Structure 1
Amino acid sequence: MDLILWRHAEAEAGMPDLERALTAKGHKQARRMGEWLASQLPESCRILVSPALRTLQTAEALGRRFKLHAELAPGAEAEDVLKAANWPASKETVLIVGHQPTLGQTAALLLTGEEQDWEMRKAAAWWFSQREPGDPSSIYLKAVMAHDLVVK
Structure 2
Amino acid sequence: MDLILWRHAEAADPEPGQADMQRALTSKGQKQARRMAEWLTSQLPDSCKVLVSPAVRTLQTVEPLGRKFRVQPEIGPGADPHELLRVANWPNARDPVLIVGHQPTLGQVAALLLSGEPQYWEMKKACAWWFVQREPNDPASLYLKAAMAPDLIVK
TM-score, normalised with respect to structure 2: 0.97
What's the offset of the Cα at 1:80?
Answer: 1.3
- 1:103-122 mapped onto 2 (5 Å cutoff): 103-122=106-125
Instruction: Note the alpha carbon deviations across 1:22-61, whole angstroms, 9 max, x for none.
Output: 0000000000000000110000000000000000000101
> Which residue number corresponds to residue 131 of structure 2?
128
CA distance in 1: counterparts of 2:25 and 2:64, whole angstroms: 11
Moved over 6 A (4+): none
> Which residue number corresponds to residue 13 of structure 1?
13
Q: 2:64 aligns with which of 50, 61, 66?
A: 61
> Which residue number corresponds to residue 84 of structure 2?
81
Pair 1:141-2:140 in alignment: no
Q: CA RMSD in A?
A: 0.6
CA distance in 2: counterparts of 1:98 and 1:121, whole angstroms: 12
SS at match of 2:62: helix
SS at match of 1:61: helix
Letter of the structure 1 residue corresponding to residue 10 of structure 2: E
Count, aligned residues: 152
Identity of aligned residues (%): 68
- 1:15-54 mapped onto 2 (5 Å cutoff): 15-54=18-57
